[in-house]
């Protein structure tokens, strides 16, 4: 059952030497393709990286996180309105998908596909890690994988057989993210209640201490995801979207 | 096994009168929350709609598709950097998440969560339908659900016990969306090969005929997803993102 898989899963960053066969990957892709998609158009593509040469090229775009070279397979999942547009042009139809809404639609299709793949792969015993760096320097990935216009990388998964059994990471209580009928904003007492467990974790307390911060939240705002980085990366993300032809209007 | 669920699934738009209990929903939310998330921040919220009054308010935003009022439960899944930002402000940390990159990160978290939920719900026997209309008129949804700044709806799921057994919809062959090492663009012969089955389906041929079109692709470009609509909806999507505080820079 997926339910049991989910309740015991954790991201895997170290992989054994055991091969992940093309046959297995294709079966996973076929089942993943049953995922809901806009107008049955399947607005995504997957680029499969196995060669050392291509991993070398992708690694810097992912801040040289060791999973890129350490995993037998790296999957770059892309929002893709190119294939559909080529189909239209070959069928006397004028595609109008060079705009933001079409990017949002294709990115949604791609991310839903990616997550079904992740669930199926973990159910099959594979270890998976998402690389959040995908949207930081998409231009480097586009160059390495030779992505044409109307194709934009939105998720990267490293895939292999697990060589580690990582501990489960913490999660907020369900009540913290579920709202009934309308959104009720968070009062200080809600925040205290919902973040108490996360803030009390020994590893988080140690992280705060090592970095000489006062609170765990400061680890996020001052070190991991700073305003300065976010602003710079937002600008380059939009620039890349434009370069890929999604902001023609 | 999720694999078997995926290979036989279809979106369900008609639901029986049987209740979907809060207990069941909460169990599904708990398992869905094990989904991968940026920095364990869980950058999403779910608004659960059960009341007739709220369904009435949401329906027009979804072009009055009958699933909104017909489903016992409607879930609006939102990219949410509000909760994390409130946490930061309550912890002497200055959040810097009012920008495009942060929206992309939160939207990704929300969509991955939504798809795990969909897989788990279908595994449990529930019927699910995504409403692609969510990103068409997000402003109406924001007003109805009272979403504050830094919260943006990205997916809507109607959920209930199935009262129909829809046929499986068609999918492109795996080879059409998987690329090895680098992206190889599509030649006319590739397009013919990959779209042949879709174009030959009796229901699609009938659709072309009824609408007095020449090709199936024209159904998409001229009727279902037109450039004119996409351009207008792109502008209002960006305007709403700005109103929700994600384009402050």
pLDDT digits (tens, 9 = 90+) for B163-219: 999 999 999 999 999 999 999 999 999 999 999 999 999 999 999 999 999 999 999
The whole-angstrom distance between B62's CA and the closest CA on chain A is: 15
* Ramachandran bin of B178, using left for φ above 0, alpha for ψ from -120 to 50, beta for the remaining angles: beta
Q: What is residue A249's predicted lDDT score, i.e. its pLDDT?
A: 59
- Contact flag B220-A41 (C-beta cutoff 8 Å): yes
Q: How far apart are CA A94 and CA B214, in angstroms?
A: 13
With a pLDDT cut of 70, the percent of chain B lying above it is 100
- Contact flag A101-B221 (C-beta cutoff 8 Å): no
**Mean pLDDT, range A44-59, rounded to an integer:** 98
Does the predicted TM-score (pTM) go above 0.90? yes
- Contact flag B36-A174 (C-beta cutoff 8 Å): no
Q: Which of A38, A45, A185 sits opposite B183 (nearest CB)?
A: A45
Q: What is residue A167's predicted lDDT score, i.e. its pLDDT?
A: 95
**Mean pLDDT, range B75-87, rounded to an integer:** 98
* ipTM > 0.90, yes or no: yes
pLDDT digits (tens, 9 = 90+) for A84-120: 999 999 999 999 999 999 999 999 999 999 999 999 9
A189 near B CB under 8 A = no
pLDDT-based confidence at residue B110 (cuts at 50, 70, 90): very high
Please give the mean pLDDT across all residues of chain B: 97
Q: What is residue A43's predicted lDDT score, i.e. its pLDDT?
A: 98
User: Chain A contacts of B183, Cβ < 8 Å?
Assistant: 45, 47, 78, 145-148, 151
């Amino acid at each position: 059952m997926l339910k049991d898989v989910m309740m015991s899963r954790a991201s895997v960053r170290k992989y054994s030497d055991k091969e992940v066969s093309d046959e297995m990957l294709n079966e996973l892709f076929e089942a993943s393709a049953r995922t809901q998609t806009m107008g049955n158009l399947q607005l995504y593509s997957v680029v499969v990286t196995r060669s050392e040469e291509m991993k070398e090229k992708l690694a810097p775009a992912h801040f040289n996180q060791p999973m890129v070279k350490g995993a037998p397979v790296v999957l770059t999942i892309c929002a893709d309105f190119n294939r559909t547009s080529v189909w239209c042009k070959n069928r006397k139809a004028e595609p109008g998908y060079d705009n933001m809404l079409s990017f949002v639609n294709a990115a949604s299709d791609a991310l839903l596909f990616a997550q079904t793949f992740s669930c199926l792969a973990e159910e099959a015993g594979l270890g998976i890690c998402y690389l959040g760096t995908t949207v930081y320097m998409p231009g480097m990935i586009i160059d390495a994988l030779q992505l044409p216009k109307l194709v934009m990388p939105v998720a990267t998964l490293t895939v292999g057989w697990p060589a580690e059994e990582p501990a489960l990471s913490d999660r907020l209580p369900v009540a913290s993210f579920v709202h009934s009928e309308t959104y009720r904003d968070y009062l200080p007492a809600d925040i205290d209640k919902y973040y108490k467990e996360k803030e009390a974790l020994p590893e988080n307390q140690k992280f705060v201490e090592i970095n000489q911060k006062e609170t765990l939240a400061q680890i996020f705002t001052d070190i991991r995801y700073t305003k300065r980085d976010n602003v710079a990366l937002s600008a380059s993300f939009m620039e890349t979207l434009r370069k890929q032809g999604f902001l023609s209007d």
